[in-house]
A and B are shown apart, each in its own frame.
Chain A
């Protein structure tokens, strides 16, 4: 189809086929892609509202057995700089988040074999007990699969138990590219295949949870595989309608095993615009200022995004891979208004909560995002002793070594797994 005809089809609200989308992605100018994506955004959000959320990215552990080659954040089991946050540390982070108007934690972490399902359930329950209105946007699909394997329970049951403990929604992390050829090359096929990732989301949607969807591009995938990722998300969204938003970002190569160079700013804007055109059944697209910086993050609003994501407060994963951008609420609001939009705070369900908090009361100005822990803090939370470890190192640390090892077993009830 000629480019003009494709553009006309998009402007008329038609759904793009895979080949049509690929033709646009490969051959349309940046300006045409942006113009079309902006048109879709304007149709979906004629009120010119651009939303954002005040929440905190908390990574409860960096210990992970998945060993994805694109990740600079994880530490092996037993690593001296591996950590697990204690409940009290997490409560303190929630207090700080609430102090700046925050409404939820985005809680994700490594696949730590020494954290059983009961640890998560107890954490969620204790958070909800202390902060009944505070939301837990927690555990990406690969983490849910990890818990399913660890507890030998099916995914739907794990999800049900987490919901019962207080889980409010599931973040779309760990999707990378939903094509198994790519996942094998990135060493993330083992943590979740493309089908497994989608199945977790399907089960979550059926259980009544809303979730987001993500795409990390710029590693080894082809254009066709980026598009296949988007089409698979579109198909599931047709089926369940459970995704609230889509977020894409570029692979951050520093300090990773995979290495290489980062995809460019123009590539980001083209990919974002493509997503806006293909994902016609998604209401919201977030800008990834944390990987692209504030300037390209703001330009995202002209290329299909209608949400500036999170104030974030804390970030550990992309920082480990070299990106260290910071935007507090003042900066996010300034960028939204400078782009001609109306800033509104939201929750995870994209319900509008109000205008900017900082205009109503003084909040501390952030110049740098916080990290999970101060450098050198190697403390081990005392409550970990209440949970059975799986790894030898974990057992030794918790005094749970096997009887025949000569170390005295103690503590946890083995049934609490």
Chain B
């Protein structure tokens, strides 16, 4: 059966429910990884990009800009429109040539509603303040996904990443298909990060579940160019294995050197990418190679 699924993947045909049910069986994990890797190599060869991100909190004193940063990301939900605008201006003042990304799109959607603004109007004001990139869109938190992402585009902003807050779930097929449908509608998603942005410490996801979801994302979300894995959140070991399961972009590599204990810096990311048989290429938040 796997041979037939492989033939379909190679021919670019859609996989049936029966195909996906077969691939989701735990004993097919390596077959699933193999298929996702074929698709990934067809699209990217061995090239694996990574971005060094310096996170900046939404308030308080700004840290000095890390010399290695390829993206300054303002994190947290802004309490007011004015505070969001002020933080963007403060961050731009230290950013130099480094692209600045800010906020999560569903947080901005709520902020706009609370301020009596349309999301597009809010995004245009952020753009006027100098923002280039909306840092993230947790598509499972957006009530009107297409409209929200189109508002980003129409405001002249770029979406740095799309993600899922709680992961695709079990079975993950439906939520991944929704992401693919969303992309068919909006066409502006450059990267998709399938693994959950939040991990329950009492019941963390398993290695099988993580790798299965990365691989399925590569197979099902075939219209988004890059599948990401978060280096800081998932750690070097899992992130490296994910590269052999369809991921081709490593997000959230710490920009500060030396890195926090237990998390790799740029040199270790390069080494790990090479050790997995791929070719590392550093990019910035605009997706330009550095």
Whole-angstrom distance between the alpha carbons of A35 and B204 in the complex?
26
**B residues engaging A (CB < 8 A)?**
25-27, 29-31, 33-34, 37, 204-211, 235-238, 240-241, 244, 262, 268, 271-272, 275-277
Distance from B189 Cβ to chain A, minimum over Cβ atoms (Å)? 27
**Smallest CB gap from A36: residue in B:** B30
Complex: A372 Cα to B268 Cα, angstroms: 32
A30: B residues at CB distance < 8 A: 33, 244, 276-277
* Shortest CB distance A126–B (Å): 40
Which residue on A lies nearest to B238, using beta carbons? A295
CB distance A265 to B206 under 8 Å? no
Asked whether, in the complex, the Cβ of A31 is within 8 Å of the Cβ of B34, the reply is: yes
Residues of A within 8 A of B244 (CB): 30-31, 266
Please state if B33 and A31 are interface contacts (CB–CB under 8 Å): yes
Contacts of B29 in A (CB 8 A): 299, 302, 339
Residues from chain A with a CB closer than 8 A to the CB of B275 are: 264, 266-267
Task: Report A-chain residues with C-beta under 8 Å of the C-beta of B271.
Answer: 261, 264
- Checking B31, B33, B34, B206 against A294 with a beta-carbon cut-off of 8 angstroms, the contacting residue is B206
Specify which chain A residues have a CB less than 8 angstroms from the CB of B209 in the assembled complex. 338
Within 8 A of B (CB), among A227-263: 261
Q: Does A334 contact B (CB under 8 A)?
A: yes
Q: How far is the CB of B4 from chain A (nearest CB, A)?
A: 17
| Most central of A265, A266, A292 by chain B CB within 10 Å | A265
* Cβ contact of B30, chosen from A34, A294, A341, cutoff 8 A: A34
Question: Chain A 37-55, CB within 8 Å of chain B: the 1/0 string?
Answer: 0100000000000000000
- Establish whether residues A299 and B207, one from each chain, have CB atoms under 8 Å apart when the complex forms: yes
Tell me, yes or no, whether A391 is within 8 Å of chain B by CB: no
User: Is A297 within 8 A of B207, CB to CB?
Assistant: yes
| Complex CA distance for A264 and B239, rounded to whole angstroms | 10
State A203–B210 Cα separation when bound (angstroms).
45
A261 to B259 alpha-carbon distance, docked (Å): 13
Could you tell me the distance between the alpha carbons of A322 and B207 in the complex, rounded to whole angstroms?
Answer: 21
Given A31-B37, A31-B244, A302-B30, A338 and B268 touching (CB < 8 A)?
Answer: no
Q: A339 vs B205: C-alpha distance in the bound complex, in angstroms?
A: 12
Interface check A399, CB cutoff 8 A: no
Q: Are A339 and B276 in contact (CB under 8 A)?
A: no
Does A296 make an interface contact (CB < 8 A)?
Answer: yes
Q: Please measure, in the bound complex, the distance between the C-alpha atom of A341 and the C-alpha atom of B29, giving whole angstroms.
A: 13
In the complex, which range does the number of interface residues on chain A fall in?
A: 20 to 34
Give the complex CA separation of A341 and B208 in angstroms. 12
B30 pairs with A338, CB closer than 8 A: no
Q: Which residue of B lies closest to A330 (CB)?
A: B203
Interface residues in A265-304 by Cβ distance below 8 A to B read 265-269, 292-299, 302
Q: Are A299 and B241 in contact (CB under 8 A)?
A: yes
Residue of B30, B208, B211, B240 touching A35 (CB-CB under 8 A): B30
A295-B237, A339-B208 are known; give 13 further A-B pairs, CB within 8 A: A29-B277, A31-B30, A34-B30, A38-B30, A261-B268, A261-B271, A264-B271, A265-B238, A294-B207, A295-B210, A298-B206, A322-B262, A340-B26
The residue on B at minimum CB distance from A338 is B206
Closest to B209 in A: A338
- Which residue in B27, B31, B207, B277 is a CB contact (below 8 Å) of A296? B207
- State how many angstroms separate the Cβ of B16 from the closest Cβ of chain A: 22
Q: A30-B276, A34-B30, A340-B26 are in contact. Are A296 and B241 (CB under 8 A)?
A: yes
Q: How far is the CB of A363 from chain B (nearest CB, A)?
A: 17
The reply to whether the CB of A335 lies closer than 8 angstroms to some CB of chain B is yes
Contacts of A29 in B (CB 8 A): 37, 277
Give the shortest distance, in Å, between B39 (CB) and chain A (any CB). Answer: 13
* Bound: A302/B238 CA distance, A: 14
Complex contact B237–A265 (CB within 8 A): yes
- Which 4 A-B residue pairings sit nearest by Cβ, starting from the closest? A340-B26, A265-B237, A295-B207, A298-B207
Residues from chain A with Cβ under 8 Å of B33 in the complex: 30-31, 34
- B272 nearest in chain A by CB position: A264
Q: How far is the CB of B1 from chain A (nearest CB, A)?
A: 15
The residue of chain A having its C-beta at the shortest distance from the C-beta of B37 within the complex is A31
Q: Which of A268, A334, A341 contacts B206 (CB 8 A)?
A: A334
Q: Which residues of B contact A295 (CB under 8 A)?
A: 205-207, 210, 235, 237-238
Residues of B within 8 A of A294 (CB): 204, 206-207
Q: Which of A293, A296, A299, A339 has the largest number of chain B CB atoms within 10 A?
A: A299
Instruction: Tell me the smallest distance from the CB of A110 to a CB of chain B, in Å.
Output: 26
- B206 touching A292 by the CB < 8 A rule? no
B262 neighbours in A (Cβ, 8 Å): 322
Query: How long is the Cα–Cα vector from A295 to B206 in the complex, in angstroms?
Result: 5
Determine if B237 and A298 form an interchain contact, defined as CB atoms under 8 angstroms apart: no
What's the nearest-Cβ distance from chain A to residue B86, in Å? 40
